[in-house]
Structure 1
Amino acid sequence: MCFYNQKKFSCGDWSWTNFAHRCNYEYRTGETCGMRLVNETFNEKGKCRLCDKIETKKRRRDAELDRLTRWKREGGTLVASMERCENLIMELETEIIQLKREKQDKQRALS
């Protein structure tokens, strides 16, 4: 039951930060007992790493969707580029779903 500081993000996620102090149960010098307790919580204004990645992928997907609709609206003749753009959009969708699942798994593991 050693004490660590905690960082809480605006999205509700949190992470451990630096070691605060050792408990009385660990008698070996320089070792911790392995159980973490919160010493102090610091609120962070930003979002967690996973939320930042999800937002970045969503912005890129939206930009590609806008580009694809513009090409279709203008009657684009670059069919290969349009297909490549559609494939990129599908890849971004799967990456977004995977990141969301990773975030849910992390929250579920802590519950």
Structure 2
Amino acid sequence: MCYFEMTRWSCGYWKWGNFKQQCNKEYRTGETCGLKLVFDTAYQMDHCKICDTIGKKERRKNKMKDDINRWRREGNRRATIEKTQQDVDDLERQIYDLWETHLEKQRTL
């Protein structure tokens, strides 16, 4: 039951910060007992790094989809469309994995 700082973002994501205070169960200097309690919470009004990364990947995915639609109208770019569609699928998988990580962290609090 040692005390740590905690950072919490407006999106609900959080992370442990620095060690702040030792509890009375641990007598060795510099050691912690293994249980973490919140000493202080620093609230951040912006989004976490995962949300920023998701936003960047979403914008990139939307740009690729717009390009695919434009190329289909123009015609004669089948290989480019197929390659870009594979890239879009990869981005969607990455975005899904990031959301899963984000939601799992929110559920653990």
TM-score (structure 1 length as normaliser): 0.89
Q: What are the equivalent positions in structure 2 for 1:1-111 lying under 5 Å apart? A: 1-73=1-73, 75-108=74-107, 110=108
Aligned length: 109
Deviations 1:62-107 (A, max 9, x none): 010111111112x231211111111111111111111112222233
SS of corresponding position for 1:50: helix
SS of corresponding position for 1:89: helix
**Distance across 2 between alignment mates of 1:60 and 1:14:** 26
Q: Identity percentage over the alignment?
A: 40
Q: Confirm or deny: 8 A CA contact 2:13 2:105 kept in the other structure.
A: no
The ranges of structure 1 where at least 4 consecutive aligned residues each deviate by more than 6 angstroms after the TM superposition are: none
**Distance across 2 between alignment mates of 1:63 and 1:99:** 19
Letter in 1 for 2:95: I
RMSD between superposed Cα atoms in Å = 1.3
Note the residue ranges of structure 1 that are not aligned, 5 or more in a row.
none
SS of corresponding position for 1:55: helix
Q: Confirm or deny: 8 A CA contact 2:6 2:40 kept in the other structure.
A: yes
**Distance across 1 between alignment mates of 2:42 and 2:104:** 23
**Distance across 2 between alignment mates of 1:38 and 1:101:** 25
SS of corresponding position for 2:105: helix
